[in-house]
Amino acid sequence: MTGNHLLDHLPAAELRRLLAQSVSLPLLSGQQLATQGLPSRALLFPMQGFVSLMTPLDGHAPLQVGMVGREGVLGAQLLLGVAASSLTVLVQQEGQAVSLPAAELRRQLPTSPALRRLLMRYLAVQLRQVATAAACLCFHALQARLARWLLMGQDRATGDGFAVTQEALALRLGVRRVGVTVAAGSLQQAGLIRYHRGWVTVCDRAGLEAAACDCYARDQASYRQGMAFPPQAAPRRAVALMSTRAATLAIDADRMSL
Confidence class for position 39, pLDDT limits 50, 70, 90: very high
Q: What does the mean pLDDT of the chain come to? A: 90
Predicted confidence at residue 232, as pLDDT, reads: 56
Q: In whole angstroms, what is the distance from residue 30 CA to residue 90 CA?
A: 6
Q: Taking the C-alpha atoms of 127, 129, 131 and 133 in order, what is their torsion angle to the nearest 10 degrees?
A: -140
The pTM of the full predicted model, rounded to 2 decimals, is 0.88
Span 137-149, pLDDT tens digits: 999 999 999 999 9
Output phi, psi for 93, to 5 deg: -125, 130
Give per-residue pLDDT as tens, 123-132.
999 999 999 9
pLDDT at residue 233 above 80?
Answer: no
What confidence category does residue 60 fall into, taking pLDDT thresholds of 50, 70 and 90? confident
* Confidence tier at 237 by pLDDT (50, 70, 90): very low
> Contact at 8 Å (CB) between 35 and 258?
no
For 134-159, what is the mean pLDDT?
A: 95
Residue 1's pLDDT band (cuts 50, 70, 90): confident
Count of CB atoms situated within 10 Å of the CB of 219: 22
In this prediction, residues 9-24 reach a mean pLDDT of 97
pLDDT band at 57 (very low <50, low <70, confident <90, very high): confident
